[in-house]
């Protein structure tokens, strides 16, 4: 009885590790990141996040198009800490498979390395695991961890928010990495490759558009004026994510641009009620900033409304859409 | 069509997140870790690692005994950076399920929080995902990321190793987190709960013994003398892991204590050849240190041999066992 009889191929694992290692800054197990920038901080706080990209991996595998998954995981993680005002330092990945698929590993790792390089983040390594019996046949998962740094008094968390602050939004590039289990219940396999008139592209291509990175826009806004807080719109939608940074006694009054992008109208037309749409998807807005009104509406941002005083019993986020 | 129809239960996910959040230091998405200790470092290097615990999760699920998995993932990660001389700062977890299993989440998160607390590491959060179709029915995965800090000139990586250095080992607490796919091919379901005379315990209990943490012993050895390097014995066994820190031109000559612990003798008796055993399992030694001979053999450590000059063509690690 050998390891290979149990579905684990050590020689393949070694070959994969070697290929991945050539993309890393360090050949050691522990990713080492010198942090000269830390010395520029008076009172540094490390800010980190771990995340996955959910069942978007299943759709990508089904369509044989895994090239965007690297950007998905890196950008998702970067956004999650950038909203607190952090500068990302390094990223680690976790890839796990029913059976190692070297081509997919190459594609995902290339994507991760490219996304990290574009953002000036060190790709510090990670783990690739072969776990027959845990993953379904032909399935795999992609997760990542990001670590960044912020000045303690530069952390933004919504705490300075007040009545009259404005809500600014940035468009999402699509569903990003949320709601893909629902999406794959709504659509059937033969629909993904077909050109869709409403979408102006094949459905599969629209759904696999990589998660947008908001780091440059967040840095620019922080440099330019009084920002109270940011919300990265992920699972839970606009209301679920924005509510986390709205202090008690205030309400964020959001008016969504109309109409919402075609993919959301298509999902609704295929039977997902609007309330469920709002609870699951970003509805075309991937990031919301709450700012002093003096910030105005910088290029690329969308005015979404403002903060008002809460009336007893009101939820922290009210969403008005005109669809 | 709602999210619940796709096998994803947002309300359950919220409840789970809330329960986990009570175990974390911060209620924010991005785990925030103030690092006052960083200011004590002249030239700090952040050292990180991401890892999983492999198909040990499948065995734990099968036996309904997930209480050790938290220690498994934390200790595995801590050991992986401690071997470079790092002091661990914080830990992030990734739990992913076919269907969320709240009792298992509680058990694993309790274990993680307890292991972090015992080592003075911040548990900075993580992600819990429900991914029907990616994971097999009833299956789940546990991964983790650790971040630590070291003084740049305090990093140990084997580079000072020389002829005559001694090899010291620490016993493993069992298989730790490697080789579990093979183990589950060797044994059948009805064997795990039976008391085994050779093992002196039920097989399942021996196999689920948590991964030992070597941080205290590593710190003590580093404080006490000239250490050239450490090898955490994980996938690839003693030869695979020790070879990584042996410079060209040297050979680590390892004599394993005899006999190897009962679990390894049992696996061999059940048909795993010795060469495969050595390539997959730690063979009872979970950590190896390479030191100046003046360090001697401190309490708890086992003398395993020494470093000698390589003859042309010799492998970097030679293992002598007397079984």
> Would you list the DSSP string of A137-184?
TT-EEEEEEEEEEEEGGG---STT--TT-EEEEEE-SSSTTSSHHHHH
What's the pLDDT band for A312 if we cut at 50, 70, 90? confident
* Whether residue A317 has pLDDT greater than 70: yes
Q: In B, which residues are within 8 Å of A3 by CB distance? A: 179, 181-182, 276, 279-280
> Which pLDDT value is given to residue B40?
76
> Which pLDDT value is given to residue B34?
67
* Whether residue A323 has pLDDT greater than 60: no
Residue-wise pLDDT for B40-93, tens only, equals 788 888 999 999 999 999 999 999 999 999 999 999 999 999 999 999 999 999
Q: Are B221 and B215 in contact (CB under 8 A)?
A: no
> Which pLDDT value is given to residue A182?
94
Q: What is the ipTM of this complex?
A: 0.89
Q: B309 to each of A107, B97, B312, how far by Cα in Å?
A: 42, 50, 10
Distance from CA of B86 to the nearest CA of A (A): 9
What's the pLDDT band for A26 if we cut at 50, 70, 90? very low
Mean predicted confidence (pLDDT) in B290-294: 96
- Among A40-44, B198-202, B306-310, the minimum mean pLDDT is found in A40-44
Q: In B, which residues are within 8 Å of A127 by CB distance? A: 50-52, 143
Q: Using the structure block, give the residue that is written with the tokens 């109309």.
A: A258
Q: Using the structure block, give the residue that is written with the tokens 């615990």.
A: B53
> Which pLDDT value is given to residue A132?
86
Residue-wise pLDDT for B144-182, tens only, equals 999 999 988 899 999 899 999 999 999 999 999 999 999
CA gap A213, A236 in Å, rounded:
19
Contact residues, A window 5-34, toward B, CB-based 8 Å cutoff: 5-8, 10, 13, 28-34
A157 CB within 8 Å of a chain B CB = yes
Length of chain A as a residue count: 323
- % chain B with pLDDT above 90: 77
> Which pLDDT value is given to residue B26?
44
Residue-wise pLDDT for A141-200, tens only, equals 999 999 999 988 899 999 899 999 999 999 999 999 999 999 999 999 999 999 999 999
Q: Are B148 and B86 in contact (CB under 8 A)?
A: yes
Tell me the pLDDT of chain B averaged across its residues.
Answer: 90
> Which pLDDT value is given to residue A2?
81
Mean predicted confidence (pLDDT) in A205-226: 95
* Whether residue B25 has pLDDT greater than 70: no
* Whether residue A313 has pLDDT greater than 60: yes
* Whether residue B233 has pLDDT greater than 50: yes
A179, two tokens: 């709601």
> Which pLDDT value is given to residue B323?
56
* Whether residue B29 has pLDDT greater than 60: no
Residue-wise pLDDT for A237-253, tens only, equals 999 999 999 999 999 99
- For A16-174, strand residue ranges (E) read 31-34, 44-52, 87-97, 122-130, 140-151, 166-171
* Whether residue A36 has pLDDT greater than 90: no
- Does the global pTM surpass 0.80? yes
* Whether residue A28 has pLDDT greater than 50: no
> Which pLDDT value is given to residue B21?
66
DSSP class of A193 = T
A85 CB within 8 Å of a chain B CB = no
Q: In B, which residues are within 8 Å of A45 by CB distance? A: 32-35
> Which pLDDT value is given to residue B6?
78
Distance from CA of B155 to the nearest CA of A (A): 10
Residue-wise pLDDT for B90-105, tens only, equals 999 999 999 999 999 9
Q: In B, which residues are within 8 Å of A140 by CB distance? A: 134
> In chain A, where does DSSP find H-type helix?
10-21, 56-63, 69-82, 102-119, 180-186, 203-207, 215-224, 237-242, 262-269, 274-280
Residue B135's DSSP bridge partners are: A135, B132
What's the pLDDT band for A29 if we cut at 50, 70, 90? very low
B62 CB within 8 Å of a chain A CB = no
| Pairwise CB contact (< 8 Å): B43 & A34 | yes
User: What burial class does residue B248 get, using C-beta atoms within 10 Å of its C-beta: 0-12 exposed, 13-18 middle, 19+ buried?
Assistant: exposed
- % chain A with pLDDT above 90: 77
Mean predicted confidence (pLDDT) in A127-145: 92
DSSP class of B209 = P
Tell me the pLDDT of chain A averaged across its residues.
Answer: 90
What's the pLDDT band for B200 if we cut at 50, 70, 90? very high
Instruction: Count CB-CB contacts under 10 A for residue B320.
Output: 11
Mean predicted confidence (pLDDT) in A201-215: 97
Contact residues, A window 216-275, toward B, CB-based 8 Å cutoff: 232, 235-236, 244, 270-273
């Amino acid at each position: 009885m050998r390891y290979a009889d149990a579905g684990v191929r050590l020689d393949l694992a070694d070959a994969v590790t070697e290929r991945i290692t050539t993309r890393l800054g360090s050949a050691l197990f522990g990713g080492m990141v010198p942090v000269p920038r830390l010395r520029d901080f008076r009172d540094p706080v490390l800010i980190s996040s771990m995340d996955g990209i959910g069942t978007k991996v299943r759709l990508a595998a089904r369509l044989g198009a895994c090239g965007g998954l690297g950007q998905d995981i890196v950008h998702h993680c970067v956004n999650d800490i950038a909203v607190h005002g952090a500068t990302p330092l390094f990223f680690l990945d976790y890839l796990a498979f029913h059976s190692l698929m070297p081509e997919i590993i190459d594609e995902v790792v290339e994507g991760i390395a490219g996304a990290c390089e574009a953002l000036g983040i060190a790709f510090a390594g990670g783990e690739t695991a072969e776990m027959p019996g845990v993953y379904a046949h032909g399935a795999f998962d992609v997760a990542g961890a990001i670590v960044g740094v912020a000045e303690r008094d530069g952390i933004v968390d919504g705490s300075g928010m007040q009545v009259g602050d404005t809500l600014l939004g940035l468009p999402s590039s699509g569903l990003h990495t949320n709601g893909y289990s629902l999406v794959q219940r709504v659509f059937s396999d033969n629909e993904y490759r077909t050109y869709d008139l409403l979408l102006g592209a094949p459905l599969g291509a629209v759904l696999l558009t990589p998660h947008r990175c908001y780091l440059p826009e967040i840095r620019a806004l922080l440099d330019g004026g009084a920002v109270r807080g940011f919300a990265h719109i992920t699972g839970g939608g606009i209301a679920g994510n924005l509510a986390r940074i709205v202090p008690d006694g205030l309400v964020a009054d959001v008016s969504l641009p109309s109409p919402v992008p075609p993919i959301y109208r298509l999902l609704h037309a295929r039977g997902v009620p609007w309330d469920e749409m709002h609870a699951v998807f970003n509805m075309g807005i991937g990031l919301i900033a709450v700012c002093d009104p003096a910030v105005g509406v910088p290029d690329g941002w969308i005015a979404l409304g403002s903060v008002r005083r809460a009336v007893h019993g009101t939820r922290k986020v009210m969403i008005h859409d005109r669809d």
